[in-house]
Amino acid sequence: MDTHIIFDLDGTLIDSKPEMVDTYRQVFHKIPTPSLIDFDSINFGATLPAILEKVYENNSLLMAEARKEFIEIYDQSSYQNTPLYPSVIDVLSFLYKHDFKLHIATNKRLKPTLNILLKKEISSYFTCVKGSDMGDGKLLSKEEMVKQICAENNISSGYMIGDSTQDIEAGKASNLTTIAVTYGYEKKEHLVKKKPTFVIDNLLELYNILKV
C-alpha cells in the first residue's frame, strides 16, 4: 500500500522570504503603500492577494496594480535567492526511491511553483502539485487543496507536513498524520497549539517518524 506525503512549499521545502522581500520592495517602490511596511510582520506563506490586501489596506485599485507588478517580476525570476532548506534534496530523493508518493499543496500560484520546482531540480519527485489559483476563478484554501489531492489520489491515510497552522488544520481535516516544522515562518508556540501529531526542527527527523 502506497504511503502518501503532502508537503507545504514556502517555509517547508524552500525559504522564499529573501526573494519575496526583494520583489515586494520593488513593487512597493513603484506602487507606494499607505504606510511603512514592516517586512518581519508579513506572512510569506500566505497567498499574494492576502498579503496585498493587508499592505494596501483593502484598496482594490492599488492591490490590482501591485498584483500585476509582482507577477511580472516574480514569475520571470531565476529564483537564485530562493534556497532549498537543508537536507531537502536528500530527503525527497530518499523518499521517492523508497516509493513514497509525494505531493505539494501551496498558497503560491501554480506558475511560479512549477518554475521553482524545475529550477531547484525537484519537480520529478512529486505526483501532484496544487496551487492556490487552481480553483476555477476563486482561490483554494489549503484545506481544499489537500482534500483535492486526497480525492484525486485515493488517499485515506498519510502525512501532511508544513510550517503553518493552516497546514496542520488542513491535514487534520483530511484525517492525515500532521507534522509541523519549526524552521519556517510560523512561531513554534502557534503550531503547538494546533496539536500536530509530530513537531520537528529538521527535515531529517522524518526518517524516525516514517521508520525508514
Per-residue pLDDT tens digits for 117-150: 999 999 999 999 999 999 888 999 999 999 999 9
Instruction: Check residue 79 and give its pLDDT.
Output: 97
Same domain? 94 vs 189: yes
> At which of 74, 93, 116 does a domain end?
74
Asked if residue 113 and residue 189 are part of one domain, the reply reads yes
Contact 52, 24 (CB under 8 A): no
- Say how far apart CA 172 and CA 110 lie, in whole Å: 24
Whether residue 189 is predicted with pLDDT greater than 90 in this model: the reply is yes
Could you tell me if residue 43 is inside a domain?
Answer: yes
Q: Indicate whether 139 belongs to any domain.
A: yes
- Statement to judge: residues 67 and 135 lie in one domain: no
Bridge-partner residues for 161, per DSSP? 7, 179
113 burial class (0-12, 13-18, 19+ CB within 10 angstroms)? Answer: buried
Question: Grid coordinates standing for 102?
Answer: 509525494
Q: Residue 45: pLDDT above 90?
A: no
The confidence score (pLDDT) of residue 119 equals 97
For residue 183, pLDDT over 90 is answered with yes
Q: How many domains does the chain have?
A: 2
Q: For position 40, what pLDDT does the model report?
A: 84
The C-alpha angle 14, 138, 124, rounded to 5 degrees, equals: 35
Same domain, 34 and 109: no
Q: Is there a domain that residue 145 lies in? A: yes
Does 93 lie in the same domain as 27?
A: no
Shared domain for 93 and 63, answered yes or no, is no
**Residues 99 and 138 occupy one common structural domain:** yes
Residue 116 lies in a domain: yes
Residue 183 in any domain: the answer is: yes
CATH number at residue 185: 3.40.50.1000
Domain that holds residue 123: 4-15+84-210
Residue 1: pLDDT over 80: no
Query: Does residue 97 sit in the same domain as residue 131?
Result: yes
Are residues 132 and 30 part of one domain? no
Using the CB atoms, write b or e for 11-41: b if 16+ within 10 Å: bbbbbbbebbbebbeebbeebebeeeeeeee
DSSP β-bridge partners for residue 84: 14
Mean pLDDT, the chain, integer: 95
**Residue 79 resides in a domain:** no
Provide the pLDDT for residue 137.
Answer: 83
| 69 and 96 fall within a common domain | no
What Å distances lie between residue 92 and 111, 158, 200, 206, CA to CA?
A: 21, 16, 16, 11
Whether 56 and 158 share a structural domain? no
What are the Cα distances from residue 56, in Å, to 45, 61, 81, 116, 196?
18, 9, 25, 27, 33
User: In the chain, pLDDT over 70 holds for what percent of residues?
Assistant: 100
Return contacts of 23-29, CB within 8 angstroms, 24+ apart. 23/70, 23/73, 23/74, 23/77, 24/51, 24/55, 24/70, 26/69, 26/73, 27/66, 27/69, 27/70, 27/73, 28/55, 28/66
* Residues 64 and 90 placed together within one structural domain of the fold: no
Q: Is residue 149 part of a domain?
A: yes
* 59-116 pLDDT per residue, tens: 999 999 999 999 999 999 999 999 999 999 999 999 999 999 999 999 999 999 999 9
